[in-house]
Amino acid sequence: MLRNGETGDWIGTFEGHKGAVWSVCLDTNALRAASGSADFTAKVWNALTGDILHSFEHKHIVRACAFSEVKLWDVRSGKIVQTLETKSPVTSAEVSQDGRYITTADGATVKFWDADHFGLVKSYNMPCTVESASLEPKYGNKFIAGGEDMWVRVFDFHTGDETACNKGHHGPVHCVRFSPGGESYASGSEDGTIRIWQTGPLTD
């Protein structure tokens, strides 16, 4: 289901999955949407029409990847181009806005991978099991993470130091994402709410 980010009004519903949908996201221009489902598929949609552009089959439930590896797909050919190995199930995967990094959350770890050569750039241990992480898109100098302890934390990208902690949810946080401009970020929780948080002054 697609809703207006400012008003919450319903815009449209994408129909095509045959199982529960675990993860969804929009591209930078909000022209395409991607979804991962319990029907063992990931789908790419036209966000304007709701049409399915691509459907990628897998052997497991797709929760942005609910298994111990991340698979990168060519959206034109539908073929796997790279697999990134992790020690714990990956619950979140995001490509940075500038295309330089792939951010993943697995277990109590947030990792940043080189999107061109696929090497591990940074790996930070988190205070709890993390369900989702997102890199600030404008300067790339901070990232957010949310998980089982119900808090949404902000960290320094270069050092991994925690710089802020937001309380408000009453259930585990399953998804966090920055806005395209980085001025705010959203968190979705098992408590049935989505919260919007202000990032604060952006500096490079």
Stretch 137-148: mean pLDDT, rounded? 94
Q: Give the three-state DSSP class for 70.
A: strand
The confidence score (pLDDT) of residue 201 equals 66
- Going from N- to C-terminal start, the domains of the chain cover 1-62, 88-204
How far is it, in rounded angstroms, from Cα 138 to Cα 178?
Answer: 10
Q: Evaluate whether 146 touches 176 at the Cβ level (below 8 Å).
A: yes
**How many Å apart are CA 109 and CA 116, to the nearest integer?**
22
What is the pLDDT, as a whole number, of residue 203? 62
- Between 2 and 137, name the one with better pLDDT: 137
Query: Which one is the CATH code of 88-204: 1.10.238.10, 3.40.710.10, 3.40.50.2000, 2.130.10.10?
Result: 2.130.10.10
Per-residue model confidence as pLDDT tens digits over 23-33:
887 776 778 88
CA distance 122 to 135: 12
Q: What is the pLDDT of residues 42-53, one digit of tens each?
A: 888 888 898 998
Average pLDDT over residues 116-121: 91
DSSP letter for 68, please: S
Residues 6 or more apart from 19 whose CB is under 8 A from it? 37, 38, 39, 40, 61
